[in-house]
Amino acid sequence: MVELQGIPVSPGVAIGPALVLDAAGYRIPRSLLAADEVEAEFARLRDAVDRVSTRLESNRLETSAVAGEHTGDIFAAQLQMLHDPRLQAELRRRIEQEHQSAAYAVSRVLHNYAEALRKLDNPLLADRAEDVLDIEKQLLFCLGAVSESRLVDLDETVIILSHVLTPSETANLDRRYVRGFCTETGGPGGHTAIVAKGLELPAVVGIGNFLDRVGNRIKVIVDGDRGRVILDPDAETLASYKKRLKERRSLTAKLSELRDLPAETIDGTPLRLSANIEFPHETTTCIERGADGIGLYRTEFLYLSSAEEPSEEDHYQAYSQVVREMEGRPVVIRTLDLGADKMGHRPLAEYEHNPFLGLRSIRLSLRNLDLFRPQLRAILRAAVHGDISVMFPLITTLAEFRQARMLLNVVAEDLKESGTPHRSNIPVGMMVEVPAAVMMLDRFVEEVDFLSIGTNDLAQYTLAVDRSNEYVADLYQSSDPAVLRLIARCVEVAKEHNRPLSICGEMSSNPARALLLMGMGVRHLSVPPSSLLRVKKAIRSVSIGQCEQMAERVMQLEAARDVDLYLLDRLGEYVPELIVT
């Protein structure tokens, strides 16, 4: 038995046979182009950039669906790197002026970037080197310079042992077969570590050189709690870890027993606990985990999963599948929430220096009605199959909401005149994601049917923090007192005007913060499917009075750190089993 010590980055225990991956060492030979080949080579690079953009956005969506938007935003940061004007200009210069092949230019430029980052004293920035190399590897694959990873054709359970895993490789691990992984390099702040934690894959990184001592099929234990990797464990060690695994599975089994029980406090206060989804196939997991409905159906995958712009029929088929499979449970569909920079099917805007404050979400839809109309038509058509509501994202002004609602009415008239089956009397709501909307909420509630607070963007815009920017990401806290006061204002206005209100941001998926929101008066939470049972366990373990006491105390605190420490203490007191796992 050999015991190795590394850095624990994702909790849990995994036991299984090793799959050893070769070190990601590849060298792209220097290759020069003839003058008449330059234009075609640059076109190949542009095509590769577009394909990698689509892959990264798909990774963002799929990771957000499983692990929450904060984890998915790692790939939004990579997209920013990929489209950095200085990077693109340097690649163009090397191809057009120095006649380098696209693959060689990509390899040299991005390797230079990664080496520069690794030499920095700041460990957070040094960890970003793995993101640069991830982009390099994906571009080289799309350019045909390197082959696909061995991870794509797994058919048995394994523990991955590798020199390095990129964030994209981690996000795309087949969790049916991959039980955990360990790497020679990496750190706790690396995006590979964050993705692993979000996907609940036990992981240890930064072990140092050890792969030369390991063969495929050797039994391995990955202890993501303590940072240990045990090769060829003896019988006593193996038995001890199997016991720990059994205890964890016992908790999972106990949580699964809550599936059909109501989400209500011990003193009988009911809550509606819905799920956030990205893809139609996720409805199965939602039903298996007892979701009361779909509180947020993100529709962006339709625009990103195909080389062509989705048709009205594409929208209709996806929405109809979801509403039918939810078997009468309510489904809230959010219209397109992408920026113009993500719409690869057609050029919708020039390069934007700050896309988070630019042409995105409802602004993009209202500027491109030929994009918006098919989606609205499909939503009204699918509504004949069940309980559907529509919700507009990033509403900032009353004029935006009125224009969107008016277009919905016009589309309904068109469907009526053509005799197309549809339902026009569906509830129409808005996302509350910017402080301007909160300040004007007393006017909005006179015109909307329901409200949903998107705490991710609300925190971002309130605190002036780009949550995908590692330089300031530590300032992004949805538990910041300023954000909490805005949420409290929303709850107050909704209650005064008897308008349904939900929280669908990542904040609600944290059991401790969910109890806080309940204490503030929220009665509808929408969370990722993976969080449903843990949040339900927390809800069913407390009284509403205890939650209100938590909220009263929290509103007196001055910093997000103080809020989180207090909430963690209360969760440990009320639901200790959720702390130790």
Active centre residues (catalytic): 191, 504
How, if at all, do strands 450-453 and 428-432 pair? parallel
Q: What is the DSSP letter of 329?
A: -
CA distance 236 to 242: 10
CA distance 30 to 16: 41
CA distance 227 to 221: 11
CA distance 303 to 339: 11
Query: Any residues with CB less than 8 A from the CB of 265 and at least 6 apart, and which?
Result: 271, 518, 539, 540, 542, 543, 544, 547
Using an 8 Å Cβ cutoff, are 559 and 479 in contact?
no
Q: In what order do the strands lie in the sheet with 228-231?
A: 2-5, 228-231, 219-223, 13-20, 158-162, 178-183, 203-205, 7-10
Which residue intervals of 360-499 are DSSP H helices?
361-367, 369-382, 398-418, 435-439, 441-444, 455-463, 481-496
Provide the β-strand partners of residue 334.
298, 391
Q: Which long-range contacts (CB under 8 A, 24 or more apart) does 249-257 make?
A: 251/577, 251/581, 255/533, 255/534, 255/536, 255/537, 256/289, 256/533
Q: Which tokens go with 248?
A: 């964890």
Query: Any residues with CB less than 8 A from the CB of 561 and at least 6 apart, and which?
Result: none
Q: How far is CA 91 from CA 41, 103, 105, 145, 435, in A?
A: 11, 10, 6, 16, 40
Q: Which tokens go with 134?
A: 């991830």
Q: Please count the other Cβ atoms lying within 10 Å of the Cβ belonging to residue 249.
A: 10
Q: What count of Cα atoms within 13 Å lies in the side-chain half-sphere of residue 496? A: 12
